[in-house]
Amino acid sequence: MIRQIIHIDEEKCNGCGLCAEACHESAIAIIDGKAKLIRDDYCDGMGDCLPNCPTGAISFETREAAAYDEAAVEENKKRKQAIMQESKVQLPHSCPGSTMRQMNRQSAHNASENTAACESVSMLTNWPVQIKLAPIQAPYFNGAKLLIAADCTAYSYAAFHKDFIKGKTTLIGCPKLDDIDYSEKLTEIIKNNDISSVTIVRMEVPCCGGLEIAAKKAIQASGKFLPWQVVTISIDGNIIE
């Protein structure tokens, strides 16, 4: 049928994700760093997303498109909610500690290169960092070098911020304590954002293998070809070659 539907100009889109948040039908997702209309039948053509776009990348167009399917929209919402509940993600308004934040560490990066005394400066650029609490889509994931690290690695390896967190977006977890499979959540993050590379840092203990396996499964399931590496830290705080 011919009807009114949104059009997204990817040249203007900056991947901020505000349109996806404004869309009540969850018809928009951030994929490879750009907003995209997932399916025509998810879009009701009302345009709640338009006033929320800061770059004017969204407009209306009239073209051949599938009719709006309210049942399909509701099913998609339930599927997304199930993923959120399974990974125990808390919405920002329900827990202040899980509210998404992005920190500019450029000055800290420069200082750390100039003086050894500044090695104690935090290099963390995103919050939250727990895989369970991390949003599936966030501006700090766009173009990110993703660090997926076991909780204990930062305690064992003294220069963890300088050697691993610096310049990366960080996610941490412990598959033994959380007793969940992170792969589905990580798949959604990698699939729906413009991730440029993945570094997995784990401890030498066997239970840390669950984090490595989950990350590898997520990369494969995302359908993307990304450069990735695994770094293993010994209990005494050294990198195992």
Asked if residue 220 belongs to a domain, the reply is yes
How high is the pLDDT of residue 102? 76
pLDDT band of residue 207 (cuts 50, 70, 90) is: confident
Q: Kindly tell me if the per-residue pLDDT of 89 is higher than 50.
A: no
Using CA atoms, how far apart are residues 233 and 150, in angstroms rounded to an integer?
Answer: 10
Q: Which of 86, 121, 149 is the last residue of a domain?
A: 86
pLDDT band of residue 52 (cuts 50, 70, 90) is: confident
- The answer on 69 and 165 residing in a single domain is no
- Higher-confidence residue of 52 and 8: namely 8
- CATH number, residue 43: 3.30.70.20
Count of the separate structural domains present in the chain: 2
Q: Which of 86, 112, 139 is the last residue of a domain?
A: 86
Q: Kindly tell me if the per-residue pLDDT of 105 is higher than 80.
A: no
Asked if residue 91 belongs to a domain, the reply is no
**Residue range of the domain that includes 145:** 96-240
- Higher-confidence residue of 83 and 77: namely 77
Asked if residue 114 belongs to a domain, the reply is yes
Asked if residue 69 belongs to a domain, the reply is yes
- The answer on 133 and 79 residing in a single domain is no
Average pLDDT of span 216-236:
94
| CA 163 from centroid of its chain's CA atoms | 21
Q: Which of 65, 86, 107 is the last residue of a domain?
A: 86
Average pLDDT of span 47-70:
90
Global pTM?
0.60
How high is the pLDDT of residue 177? 85
- The answer on 115 and 168 residing in a single domain is yes
- Which H/E stretch holds residue 216? helix 209-222
Tell me the per-residue pLDDT of 140-192, one tens digit each, with 9 for 90 and over: 998 999 999 999 999 999 999 999 999 999 999 998 888 778 998 999 999 99
Using CA atoms, how far apart are residues 150 and 211, in angstroms rounded to an integer?
Answer: 7
- The answer on 81 and 35 residing in a single domain is yes
- The answer on 129 and 191 residing in a single domain is yes
How high is the pLDDT of residue 14? 84
Q: Among the listed ranges 28-37, 40-49, 74-83, 93-102, which one has the minimum average pLDDT value?
A: 93-102
Q: Kindly tell me if the per-residue pLDDT of 222 is higher than 50.
A: yes
SS (H, E, C) 26-39: CCEEEECCEEEECC
Name the token pair of 122: 């935090």
Those residues with Cβ within 8 angstroms of residue 114's Cβ, 6 or more apart along the chain or in another chain:
none
Q: What is the rounded average pLDDT for all residues in the chain?
A: 85
Q: Kindly tell me if the per-residue pLDDT of 106 is higher than 80.
A: no
- The answer on 61 and 177 residing in a single domain is no
- The answer on 64 and 36 residing in a single domain is yes
Asked if residue 169 belongs to a domain, the reply is yes
Using CA atoms, how far apart are residues 218 and 45, in angstroms rounded to an integer?
Answer: 33
- The answer on 128 and 171 residing in a single domain is yes
- The answer on 116 and 58 residing in a single domain is no
How high is the pLDDT of residue 92? 45
- CATH number, residue 179: 3.40.50
Using CA atoms, how far apart are residues 148 and 165, in angstroms rounded to an integer?
Answer: 10
- The answer on 148 and 66 residing in a single domain is no
- The answer on 139 and 216 residing in a single domain is yes
Q: Among the listed ranges 76-80, 212-216, 217-221, which one has the minimum average pLDDT value?
A: 76-80
- The answer on 169 and 221 residing in a single domain is yes
